[in-house]
């Protein structure tokens, strides 16, 4: 019978206490220089998913331009002396036109500020990060990019849904749900293929169109689907159902939400781990009346420094 051999112990003298966060930041070699813009991905919301380099640059920046999708927990990590400029876009709120955001980045950099532009998720995944950097490049502004965990990776992981699995999905595709029915040029036949995971950003408002197109192009009506609301946040909610129920489930969700279509969703309940030991914090595991679809529910300190662009 095989036995597990004991792994060798580290020598006692080599064991040291883990460095503090402040010590890690002190040792960070990257420096944000004056007149330079750092395009930063904030990740899906959980502040502990922020990269060390992103945190270091947020501490160094003199001006931070941010979106609504950046969580309050991450905003709280920015020093109170930093100038904050809200350039978010959100239904029912004051929205800043993209051209004005671009101009603000150029103006702050030209004035010699250390500028951080932080976006939810990853700035190069449906975040217009490339568009903003094009403007900076044309204006002769130096910049760099600090990637973040995109919602398709972070939210699904916290929902217990692997993007790929040898038994269920050999590929994953990400699309945006900001579609105009009359101008829809997506390859729905490709998107409707089996044995793949389809992740749809910003798809709630077009859920009926998405449902119709996937079914018309061959995806089974019984294909498992999930809607992940506020993924990785403490109040994350996951709605589980079938493709035929997508539009009906979407009315129960609020933005920001991510739609996942594919057989990997079958694993959500089995692989659920987030908030398992926090049952007192508004967590439910209930069956809805909608065809047995499952629902798993799981102060800005700079207020006086915030500028509405």
Active site residues: 67, 89
Bridge partners of 198, per DSSP, are: 173, 261
* Residue 61 CB coordination number (10 Å): 25
User: What is the rounded radius of gyration, in angstroms, for the C-alpha atoms of the chain?
Assistant: 22
**Interstrand relation of 63-66 and 115-119 (parallel, antiparallel or unpaired):** parallel
CB 96 within 8 A of CB 21: no
Say how far apart CA 123 and CA 217 lie, in whole Å. Answer: 31
Question: For residue 13, what are its two tokens?
Answer: 């003298």
* Residue 292 CB coordination number (10 Å): 11
Residue ranges in the chain assigned as alpha helix (H): 21-27, 52-60, 72-75, 98-110, 129-138, 151-158, 188-191, 207-216, 246-250
């Amino acid at each position: 019978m095989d036995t597990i051999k004991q792994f060798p112990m580290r020598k006692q003298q080599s064991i040291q206490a883990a460095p503090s966060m402040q010590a890690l930041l002190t040792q960070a070699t990257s420096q944000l220089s004056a007149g330079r813009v750092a395009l930063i991905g904030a990740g899906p919301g959980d502040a502990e998913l922020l990269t060390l380099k992103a945190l270091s640059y947020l501490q160094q920046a003199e001006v931070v331009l941010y979106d609504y999708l950046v969580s309050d927990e991450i905003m709280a990590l920015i020093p109170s002396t930093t100038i904050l400029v809200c350039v978010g876009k959100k239904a029912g709120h004051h929205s800043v036109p993209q051209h004005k955001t671009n101009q603000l980045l150029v103006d702050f950099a030209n004035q010699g500020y250390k500028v951080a532009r932080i976006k939810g998720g990853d700035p190069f995944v449906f975040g217009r990060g490339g568009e903003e950097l094009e403007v900076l490049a044309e204006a002769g502004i130096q910049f760099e990019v600090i990637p973040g965990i995109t919602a398709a990776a972070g939210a699904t992981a916290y929902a217990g849904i692997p993007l790929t699995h040898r038994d269920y999905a050999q590929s994953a595709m990400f699309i945006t749900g900001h579609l105009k029915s009359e101008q829809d040029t997506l390859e729905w036949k490709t998107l409707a293929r089996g044995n793949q995971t389809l992740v749809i950003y910003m798809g709630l408002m077009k859920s009926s169109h998405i449902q119709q197109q996937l079914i018309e192009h061959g995806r089974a009506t019984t294909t498992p689907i999930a809607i992940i609301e506020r993924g990785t946040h403490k109040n994350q909610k996951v709605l589980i159902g079938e493709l035929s129920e997508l539009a009906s489930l979407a009315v129960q969700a609020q933005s920001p939400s991510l739609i996942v279509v594919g057989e990997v969703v079958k694993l959500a309940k089995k692989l659920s781990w987030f908030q398992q030991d926090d049952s007192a914090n508004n967590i439910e595991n209930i069956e809805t009346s909608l065809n047995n679809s499952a629902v798993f529910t799981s102060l800005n300190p700079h207020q006086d420094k915030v500028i509405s662009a």
